[in-house]
Amino acid sequence: MNSLIFAAFSRILFILMLAVSLYVLYRGHNEPGGGFVGGLIAAAGFATLALARGVDVARATLRFEPMTVIGCGILAALLGGLPGLWLDDSFLAHQWAILGSVHIGTTLLFDIGVYLVVLGGILSLILRFYEGL
């Protein structure tokens, strides 16, 4: 795109969308949201950046190839399920640690894995599509 206003505003919009995606990711194990919706919002932020400033800027901002992000997400989701297998003899039986008002557990690790898989998958498609334009 050749819009100077869109290019200037895209960085602010990207940061805002990434912050909202992380908020949706964190609150997802207690309320609606989670890794899938958060990953979609983050991917939309990267897509906005790629459309406004180019695919090279979006790839440089991501710092990893989308397939690497997918692999890290699968690994995080698997690691989120293993403590349940070790402690409760059931894969994905979630374990919780409550630190004051902050709930951290294997559910969050699993959601982070879903977040990364969705982000990497959508970005892989979007960046290849934008490269063809």
pLDDT tens, position by position, 70-115: 999 999 999 988 887 777 777 777 767 666 676 667 888 889 999 9
pLDDT (mean) for 51-61: 94
For the stretch 11-44, pLDDT in tens is 999 999 999 999 999 888 667 778 999 999 999 9
pTM: 0.88
- Residue 1 pLDDT grade (very low, low, confident, very high; cuts 50, 70, 90): low
Q: What is the pLDDT of residue 124?
A: 96
Q: How far is CA 14 from CA 9, 32, 36, in A?
A: 9, 22, 18
Alpha-carbon distance 56 to 127, whole Å?
A: 9
DSSP assignment, residue 99? Answer: E
What radius of gyration, in Å, describes the C-alpha atoms of the chain? Answer: 17
**Domain residue spans in the chain?**
4-131
